[in-house]
């Protein structure tokens, strides 16, 4: 059975909203401080064969990544090749190859995906969807790339959570540039 993994870039104070420019997607492959983060991202890509998005994040990703022609990180190739799932009742044509629009009841749609053979299904960004996935108890693992930034405001991963899942820390990996990967499994 496949597992659902939430991967988020997050500030020290729990903000995942990257609109203020504290996070650069893909990093700079020539920057030695980012090379170990990019290696961790490569490891995660190899462990996943599905990506799950809400409509807004999907449209942002679709508007950026397929247009990257000089991406040496491998992220563009991965995103173009991986199976993508977008939860949306309004989207008809996703306009990105290997994308399936999930229009039915979210919990049933995700449970069906998880029951198929394959590797991890990862969701990133998509905070409204992630809040719904957490509330439905569908997440098996959280991979949080914690950036040494404090914003004091913005959308938070567990904001408004009525039932925060019990988590067990399974990995702590610091990177040269100050980012720390924290991996948690739901208990």
Report how far Cα 168 is from the mean position of its chain's Cα atoms.
19
pLDDT tops 70 at residue 61: yes
Cβ 114 vs Cβ 3: under 8 Å: yes
Q: What is the reported pLDDT for 31?
A: 52
For the chain, count helices (H), then strands (E). Answer: 5, 8
H or E element at residue 47: helix 32-47
Q: What is the reported pLDDT for 32?
A: 59
Model pLDDT for residues 69-126, shown as the tens digit of each residue:
998 888 999 999 999 999 999 999 999 999 999 999 999 999 999 999 999 999 999 9
- Of residues 17, 3, 57, the one with CA closest to residue 149: 17
Give Cα separations from 145 to 20, 60, 175 (angstroms): 17, 20, 10
* Full set of structural domains in the chain with CATH: 4-186 (3.40.430.10)
Task: Give Cβ neighbours of residue 65 (< 8 Å, ≥ 6 apart).
Answer: 71, 75, 76, 79, 80
More confident residue, 38 or 144: 144
pLDDT tops 70 at residue 28: no
């Amino acid at each position: 059975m496949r597992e659902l993994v939430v991967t988020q870039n997050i500030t020290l104070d729990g903000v995942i909203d990257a609109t203020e420019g504290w996070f650069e997607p893909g990093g700079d492959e020539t920057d030695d401080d980012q090379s170990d983060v990019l290696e961790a991202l490569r490891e995660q890509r190899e462990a996943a064969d599905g990506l799950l998005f809400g409509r807004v994040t999907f449209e942002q990703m679709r508007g950026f990544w397929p247009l990257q022609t000089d991406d040496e990180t491998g992220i563009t190739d991965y995103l173009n090749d991986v199976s993508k799932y977008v939860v949306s009742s309004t989207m008809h044509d996703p306009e990105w190859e290997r994308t399936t629009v999930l229009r039915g009841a979210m919990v049933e749609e995700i449970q069906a995906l998880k029951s198929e053979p394959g590797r991890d299904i990862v969701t990133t960004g998509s905070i409204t969807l992630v809040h719904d996935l957490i509330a439905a108890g569908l997440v098996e693992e959280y991979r949080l790339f914690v950036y040494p930034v404090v914003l004091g405001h913005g959308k938070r991963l567990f904001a408004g959570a009525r039932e925060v899942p019990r988590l067990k820390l399974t990995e702590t990996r610091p990177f040269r540039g100050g980012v720390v990967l924290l991996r948690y499994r739901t208990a």
